[in-house]
A = this chain, B = another copy of it.
């Protein structure tokens, strides 16, 4: 954090003073849609970062897994979350803990944007994407298959 600027006010529309709205990740490596990233806290003195991700209606994050864990709080809007074999509706202030090596993906409902806070270790491994066989295994569950039809498609 910038000790000369300890207070940063929240602006309308889930934006913050002196916080840039960034691309979610590099294009091309993985499938995602209509999602942005803001890094709220990033300080070498802290072991973690706090980020805010926001999806436009129908937008979604990458389907991925990794060794590092995520600690998520929904901050705005409504949507759904795929986590391992489960698909759950999520709403403001719901908590989602994403364990190591667990497939996960967030999607905003069609009606409104959804945003969430995500606490994560500053030092972390690179996300993995599912192979064809892993996708097929996920799709064996009809609820998961229906969710994936709404995100990455068939």
Contact surface of A with B, Cβ cutoff 8 Å: 1-3, 5-10, 14, 16, 19, 40-41, 43, 45-48, 50, 68-69, 71, 73-75, 81, 83-84, 86, 88, 90-100, 102, 117, 119-122
A32, chain B: closest CB distance, angstroms: 21
| Oligomer copy total | 2
Q: What is the bound-complex CA distance between A113 and B119, given in angstroms? A: 25
Q: What is the bound-complex CA distance between A122 and B6, given in angstroms? A: 21
| Structural contact, A10 and B100, CB atoms closer than 8 A | no
| Structural contact, A46 and B43, CB atoms closer than 8 A | no
| Structural contact, A97 and B9, CB atoms closer than 8 A | no
Q: What is the bound-complex CA distance between A5 and B71, given in angstroms? A: 13
Q: What is the bound-complex CA distance between A122 and B47, given in angstroms? A: 9
A73-B40, A83-B7 are contacts. A16–B95 as well, Cβ < 8 Å?
A: yes
Residue numbers in B under 8 Å from A121 (CB-CB): 45-47
